[in-house]
Amino acid sequence: MKLSVDLNDLGLPEYKVEELYPLGEMTYYDIEEPVKRSEEGGEPEDSFIYVKEFDCPLCGKKAANPIAKIAKLRPLGTEKDLRTRYKYFEPLKYDVLCCEGCGYAAIQTNFKPLAKPHKLLLDEKIRRPFQPGILKTGVLHFEDAILRYKRAITCSKVRLGKNGEIASLCLRMAWLLRSYSEWVTEESLVQEIKQEEIKYLAAAREGLVLARQKEGSVPGMPDLTVDYLIGILSMKLGYFQDAQKLFMAVIGNGMAAASQKDKARDRLAEVKEMLKNSL
Ligand SMILES: [Zn+2]
């Protein structure tokens, strides 16, 4: 995908998605409802955002960033991999906060005080080489938002972020890319974005599996949700047997809510069918 600026232009290292986790051969199964969107009838995007100043946890300066107005969001539904779609607007574009004083970026919930060793790493690898660009504080294009996510992923890698954190960023990036593909009409660009989305979904799956194995849990996500999500990502990427095992584990878990078990039962039936058709 051609972005007008990449992280190297800002002096920052860039971790390509293939460098985050080994992705291997990928076969993709699209299990979501296809969606095409248009802005017709919607309010202008600037009515969905406001500008807020945050204290940068790395350099201490004020970082002004555009933020989505939560009260204006109108959910349209949740997809199988738990992405929520909203009417007329994509709030994911405004999730990452950036500081143009030092280059630091993180999603809003992680834009918080840093441990000293992490600060030292970020000072060396982000703050020192960073060459400030022009930080938009108004409406963001999808490509601006993709670059912000790449900055957040790079900063997370530099400060030795856990697999759960990096996997969550990859998943959100995949959702952002899917949303982007719904708004564009040029078929070659749709395909290019889709390929990138699939790589981020695969990276999210690898990261979530490692998080469950090595870190036990994923911050901000109940374990059962993580397992269900790994099941869905496995289903999308052709790991049907893994998906079956995970859905069966959710169904057999005494802590799972009835609605969660119902969803897992539906997905189990679907994945059994997919497995049969693949043989
Ligand atoms: Zn800063």
- According to the model, what pLDDT value does residue 5 have? 67
58 Cα: distance to centroid of ligand 1 (angstroms):
5
2 Cα: distance to centroid of ligand 1 (angstroms):
27
- Total domains in the chain come to 1
- Would 202 be classed as within a structural domain? yes
- Would 37 be classed as within a structural domain? yes
135 Cα: distance to centroid of ligand 1 (angstroms):
12
Q: Is residue 41 pLDDT above 90, yes or no? A: no
- Would 126 be classed as within a structural domain? yes
259 Cα: distance to centroid of ligand 1 (angstroms):
43
Residue-number span of the structural domain to which 33 is assigned: 7-207
140 Cα: distance to centroid of ligand 1 (angstroms):
20
Structure tokens at 234: 């496995």
- According to the model, what pLDDT value does residue 187 have? 93
66 Cα: distance to centroid of ligand 1 (angstroms):
16
- According to the model, what pLDDT value does residue 77 have? 93
β pairing state of 84-86 and 105-107: unpaired
- According to the model, what pLDDT value does residue 68 have? 97
With a CB cutoff of 8 Å and minimum separation 6, the contacts of 159 are 114, 118, 121, 122
111 Cα: distance to centroid of ligand 1 (angstroms):
10
Question: Residue 225: helix, strand or coil by DSSP?
Answer: helix
Q: Over range 102-107, report the average pLDDT.
A: 96
- Would 41 be classed as within a structural domain? yes
- Would 97 be classed as within a structural domain? yes
Least confidently predicted of 135-149, 178-192, 223-237: 135-149
- Would 279 be classed as within a structural domain? no
- Percent of the chain predicted with pLDDT > 90: 82
141 Cα: distance to centroid of ligand 1 (angstroms):
22
Q: Over range 169-183, report the average pLDDT.
A: 96
d(CA 56, CA 112): 8
Q: What is the pLDDT of residues 55-101, one digit of tens each?
A: 999 999 999 999 999 999 999 999 999 999 999 899 999 999 999 99
- According to the model, what pLDDT value does residue 139 have? 94
Q: How many Å is the Cα radius of gyration of the chain?
A: 19
- Would 227 be classed as within a structural domain? no
Q: What is the pLDDT of residues 220-258, one digit of tens each?
A: 899 999 999 999 999 999 999 999 999 999 999 999 999
d(CA 153, CA 170): 8
Q: Is residue 40 pLDDT above 70, yes or no? A: no
Q: Which residue has the higher pLDDT, 36 or 54?
A: 54
- Would 73 be classed as within a structural domain? yes
Question: Mean pLDDT over all residues of the chain?
Answer: 93
The model's confidence at residue 134, banded by pLDDT at 50, 70 and 90, is low
